[in-house]
Every structure is written in C-alpha cells, then in structure tokens.
Amino acid sequence: MRVTEKGVVALEIEWNNKDPFFNRDLDNFQRLHSEGAISVGVIVTRGSSLQENLIQIISACVMRHKVAEFGDLEMHYDWVPTPRQRNNMRDKKGDFGQEWVKQFVKDKFGQSTTHWKKLQDRIKRGVGNPCPLLLVGIPDTVIYQGK
C-alpha cells in the first residue's frame, strides 16, 4: 500500500498465479475500501494481447537461440526441465523448440492462470464493488523481442 496526500493506493501484481487469486485481491480491496483503509485498488496482470501471443513471443526467442534440445534451454536460460516436462516431450514429433514452446506456455501460462480475460470476468460479475479500481493489462508490445 502507498499513502498519498489524496488517499491510500493498494497494489497487486498478478503475473502468473491461479486465477482464483483475483477473487482474493478484489475481495480484499472491497473490504479495505469499506473500512476506509484504502481509496483505490490497482491490479496489474498480463493483457489480452500478451496472453494471446505468448507462443509467438517465446517461439521467436527459441528460434533466435536455436533451441534444439533440453541442453540448449539450460545453456541459454538456465532452465532445467522436470522429469514430467521431459516425459511430456518424449513422444512429440517435429521441431523440438516449437513443441517445447507449446508445452511450456500450456504449463506456465494456461487459461486457468491470472490474465486480463479472467480479471474482466470477475469485474463484470461485480467482484470488488464498490472499491474504485485501476486495472492494468500489460500488452504484448512491451516485450523486447531482441534482434
């Protein structure tokens, strides 16, 4: 929370939690606002364009680094897959990098994680009312794609 001369701002950044965390955040903002403890609640999350384009963004990075096997992931990203992730890739046909990207995005940024659409669904249902809210969806255009 941040106290200003105009009031108190509460901030939550929901980058990649399970989407029920939005319920917690909005309910907390509602309670804190009704008690006079905050003036406004702010939530920052992945915007719809970022959510929709994660496969393309990560795929471009994988192609740029010529990822062709698990060892390349460790070398370029210091990332070691779990046994489950290795097993999921075992029977995949086609380009390793592209198959890994699909699996990775599904595992880490799936539809049940926190992103703009999930937040909007709750707002439309009135979760968090009557607390004033500032909602920020990070767009895909802010992701540096390198050359």
Question: How many domains does the chain divide into?
Answer: 2
Answer yes or no: is 31 within a domain. Answer: yes
Q: Is 131 helix (H, G, I), strand (E, B) or coil?
A: coil
User: Which of 13, 80, 73 has the alpha carbon at shortest distance from 44?
Assistant: 13
**Is residue 15 domain-shared with residue 33, that is, in the same domain?**
yes
Please check whether residue 104 lies inside any domain of the structure: yes
Average pLDDT over residues 93-109: 90
On whether residue 131 sits in a domain, the answer given is yes
Please tell me whether residue 116 adopts helix, strand or coil conformation.
helix
Has residue 147 been placed in a domain? no
132: containing domain = 2-47+115-142
pLDDT in tens, 15-49: 999 999 999 999 999 999 999 999 999 999 999 99
Asked if the structure places residue 13 within a domain, the reply is yes
- pLDDT exceeds 80 at position 2: no
Find the range with the poorest average confidence among 52-66, 83-97, 123-137: 83-97
Q: What is the DSSP letter of 18?
A: B
Output the pLDDT for position 32: 96
Give domain status of residue 102, yes or no.
Answer: yes
Is the Cβ–Cβ distance between 127 and 27 less than 8 Å? yes
Query: In which band, very low, low, confident or very high, does the pLDDT at 80 lie, cut at 50, 70 and 90?
Result: confident
pLDDT of amino acid 50: 96
Give the model's pLDDT for residue 93.
Answer: 83
Q: What one-letter code names the amino acid at 93?
A: K
Judgement on whether residues 69 and 104 belong to the same structural domain of the protein: yes
Same domain, 36 and 20: yes
